[in-house]
Amino acid sequence: MTDLLGALFILASLGFFAAGSIGLLRLPGVHARLHALTKADNVGLGLLVVGAGLIGGDLLLALKLLLVWLLVMVASAIAANLIASHAMKDGEES
């Protein structure tokens, strides 16, 4: 039962990842692309973590996965911020 639920979560995460990647490729402009990528990928990763945790069925494992999710969240938020502010400066100059 939990396995099935986990699989559903993972499938759902795939949708978000796909949407994020398509957004990265198709949307115009740095900011729009960042928007698509960070939002969709973070949600996707969250769902993936939940799914994997359910399938793993181990509390310690689930905590580790949670840590992974948090770290990626922080890193991607800051990276996105840096890219965005760089793009802003470049945009003003050109």
Partner 1 sequence: MEITLWHLLDALLAILLLGLAWSALSGSDLRRGVVLFMAFGLLLSLVWARLRAPDLALAEAAIGAGLSGALLLLALRDSEKPGNRTVQTPPLLQLATLLLMLLLAASFALAYVTAVTGNNGDRLAGLAFGNLEQSGVSNPVTAVLLNFRAYDTLLELAVLLAATLGILALGAERRPFRKPGLLLGGLVTWITTLLVMVAGYLLWAGAHAPGGAFQAGALLAAAIVMLRLGGMTSEGLPVSRLLRWLLAAGIAAFMLTGYLATFLDLAFLQYPEGRAGLLILLIESAAMLSIAFSLGLAYLGGSPSGWEKSSSKGSPS
The site map against partner 1 for 20-59 (x = CB under 8 A) is ----------------------------------------
Select from 82, 88, 89, 91 the one that contacts partner 1 (CB under 8 A). Answer: 82
Select from 74, 88, 89, 90 the one that contacts partner 1 (CB under 8 A). Answer: 74
Q: Per CB under 8 A, does 85 bind partner 1?
A: yes
Residue 65 CA to residue 57 CA, distance in Å, equals 12
Select from 4, 32, 81, 89 the one that contacts partner 1 (CB under 8 A). Answer: 81
Distances (CA, A) of 57 to 2, 6, 16: 8, 10, 24
Q: What is the DSSP string of 74-90?
A: HHHHHHHHHHHHHHHHH
Residue 10 CA to residue 24 CA, distance in Å, equals 21
What is the separation of C-alpha 71 from the centre of its chain, rounded to a whole number of angstroms?
11
The site map against partner 1 for 54-73 (x = CB under 8 A) is -----------------x--
- In the complex, the residues that contact partner 1 under the rule CB under 8 A are 71, 74-75, 78, 81-82, 85
